[in-house]
Chains A and B, each alone.
Chain A
């Protein structure tokens, strides 16, 4: 079992002190601490492409900046608030795209840079490509749970709190979704 070492919660110290976002300095810190999880969250929800994800991430922070005075809570709540803004943007963006026809091949699919430590990169580009396409094909809710669980490394109880559903539902859904991915994953020829 590999050690999980990239939890976003480990990126910075306690997440649960009251926080303010109203000054440029505090918002700037908030941006620095949260842009990566927010980027990954949007990437996971949309499946790319990179440019669109970056646009949505930038837009999410811009909206949060405009609405910053309305926010009260601790940093955990702040990240949740920001991610809800991001999710709303993804949904709106999706609706807009649906409303206008997209030509086949218009959206270039470019998969992002992988884990920075080469010795940890155990997954080939081809496998990543396949995995992303499987993840993209999942229904919205299980996909979001999987993204939170694995791309952002949240705990089940954190996911349940964020999505405001029982933990049991989260763990069961994740369990079943993994089972589904396992079944879709090509088997090795060895047996």
Chain B
């Protein structure tokens, strides 16, 4: 038997669906016939584009573009050819503990948008069988004379509280009141909750101060083709059609036209990010984010709309928007050959075929077929730009398939295995070129008609510097070499291969392994000791290296947090329920503070050590609570708006004035401890690992799925930010001078 570690052996268990499965799924309701892809996972490393998932069908867009459009943050593009109306006042309806609140509505010449918050849906109202769709959740508008407008949906997955944005067709100009009708809340068990909700809404002309940013049409659209590349790419086009100037940046709206990726070719992609890059006149990358507010017509085979938000206004103009490459799926097309395997083919037998396949201007070659003990393998040579080739026997019944990746010599091997005897005799061989890569770059260069004034507004400066984004974090300066400071990290240890705790300088020097196995480390306020969890809590003395288990902790204790004076450690015990507890570092005076059935997490201490903060999911969202240590009383403070339900990573600043937390979309927000002034400080497109404080500095771990995590230091008040390039893993503690 192999001596390889068991983890590595587990790593090699990689079952894959059979050809039959892919054929079956190709007929599924959502799958257009053209998307048959037998080797669906061959092309995974290629970058690609376009927000099919975000596209909403709005008919007759070309015509609509001729009208006067405006952009309203949160609403999107609106037709301003008639006066815009808004909700006169919020409307609240409560029945059986469930509250529906219409918070906003906006009526324009082309649509009616209603924003509604739902709170208090009990979790047991959702079917226990999660495949059961439950109530349909349709929402409609009833106009005064009885006409119904369809198109809304109310439902929130399995959440207790959620927000829905409903979009309907336009209301006639004279209609200033309407009723929102909700049959039942989507996804819940029919009959379990109040049904047939009716919510009356009144509308007023929009107040003059309402911001409608003009959409500036660029006519004719900017666009050019820059590279000959393949014949297909030379006639494709990236265009910029309009832009919107915001207080803190711009939204650019354009399209990728695949002029002759003709006849049903489909640009593959599921995400708007990643492929479009914006650079300034010096070639420096500019921070962008997808403009979710902008809604598009659904993409067609030759028109892929895009929209990006550029953060900031002070750039070396003009800017260049570039699309590097596009992966396209060819229309389903097959070439068939007769193949005679003979009546009794033997394992190891090989047939050299050298069959050429030419499809839509792309080339591939089937080099050979080899008989294996339990099936066949096909050796293929995809031509230039070809990403994936399919090859199989017509009507076969293979139960497993493998391969598909292209090796370093440019060959691709596909193999099929059969439950019983593999087919023999006269067979029909099917070949198909399925996906190809079309290289750009396609680019377009732009600057606004009126350049922003050189003196940036305070707001623009804050937003462009104070928010760490995926793009600008790569341009942050490394932390100054001589800055003294210490970090506590949870990382995979090269020495032992285990995940443990490390203490080091900001530049990675003086690295000290605190624990080979352990998690949830916390640094004492004086920086001399670390408490961490590994079943029980351990206390490590950083000077002597001595580690002792804390007497009195047991079973499953985690999330330790030192009090500001270092005299107490708060932690969570999760044996027989979840309990927030307190213990002295000597392992004495164990005290259970609160039985928290909601699996909360500790968030910090007040500076005087009198209050311990924790977060737990409540009916209105992730909620911050405070335990008064003198009285034991637990107070509800406020809801952390839009915080991640599962891992908010909330943490209170040492001076007790701010709380930082992670939202559901992997951003880090700051809020004052009275629940006000919520603002974004970092967005991590691949995720946020940890958030820690030291003084008024924040340390944030930004996940990168394709690389090591990026650790960032940020001073939100002064907008200084640095990266810690020498450090990896989860940032669990920070001690700056």
Chain A residues in contact with chain B, CB under 8 A?
1-2, 4, 6-7, 9-21, 23-33, 35-36, 39-40, 43-44, 48, 50-51, 53-54, 57-67, 69-74, 77, 81, 84-85, 88-89, 92, 108, 110-117, 120-124, 127-128, 130-132, 135, 146, 149-151, 153, 156-157, 160-161, 164, 166-169, 171-172, 175, 178, 181-182, 185-188, 190
Contact = CB atoms under 8 A, between A and B. Distances in A.
A74 B112 CA distance: 25
B177 interface: no
B17 A35 contact: yes
A65 B73 CA distance: 31
Given A31-B31, A116-B402, A14 B273 contact: yes
A70 B499 contact: no
A12 B10 contact: no
Contacts of A39: 15-17, 21
B432 interface: no
Contacts of A178: 6-7
Contacts of A57: 17, 21
15 contacts: A13-B273, A15-B686, A29-B52, A35-B25, A61-B28, A62-B28, A65-B28, A73-B664, A74-B665, A127-B9, A150-B7, A151-B10, A166-B599, A185-B1, A185-B6
B288 interface: no
Contact of B13 (A85, A89, A128, A157): A128
B186 interface: yes
A33 B1 contact: no
A67 B133 contact: yes
Interface in B285-312: 290, 292, 298-299
A115 to B, nearest CB: 5
B158 to A, nearest CB: 8
Interface stretch (B89-97, B124-132, B450-458): B124-132
B221 to A, nearest CB: 24
Interface in B449-504: 497, 499
A84 to B, nearest CB: 5
Interface in B539-553: none
Nearest to A128: B13
A106 to B, nearest CB: 14
B265 to A, nearest CB: 15
Contact of A113 (B6, B15, B45): B15
B13 A50 contact: no
Nearest to A25: B52
B207 to A, nearest CB: 29
B13 A31 contact: no
B2 A10 contact: no
Contacts of B186: 69-70
A32 to B, nearest CB: 6
B562 interface: no
Interface in B111-161: 129-134, 136-137, 153, 155-157, 159
Give the size category of B's interface with A.
35 or more
A109 B297 CA distance: 48
Contacts of B258: none
B664 A74 contact: yes
B637 interface: no
Interface centre among A6, A128, A168 (most CB of B within 10 A): A168
B3 interface: yes
Main secondary structure of the interface of A (DSSP, over half): helix
A168 B532 CA distance: 11
B344 interface: no
Contact of A122 (B1, B4, B20, B156): B4
Nearest to B667: A16
A54 B133 contact: no
B615 interface: no
Interface string B35-46: 101001100110
A153 B12 CA distance: 11
A89 B558 CA distance: 33
B30 A40 contact: no
A60 B405 contact: no
A36 B274 contact: no
A122 B8 contact: yes
Given A31-B31, A58-B25, A110 B419 contact: yes
B47 interface: yes
A20 B646 CA distance: 21
Contacts of B159: 72
B631 to A, nearest CB: 28
B645 to A, nearest CB: 9
Contact of B25 (A21, A31, A123): A31
B130 A88 contact: yes
A168 B130 contact: no
Contacts of A120: 12
A75 to B, nearest CB: 8
B517 interface: yes
B399 interface: yes
Contact of A146 (B10, B15, B272, B401): B10
* 10 nearest CB pairs, A to B: A113-B402, A63-B131, A112-B15, A70-B187, A67-B133, A150-B10, A29-B270, A26-B53, A14-B685, A16-B666
A77 B399 CA distance: 31
Contacts of B129: 88, 92
A111 B157 CA distance: 36
A20 B271 CA distance: 11
A6 B14 contact: yes
A146 to B, nearest CB: 7
A54 B401 CA distance: 13
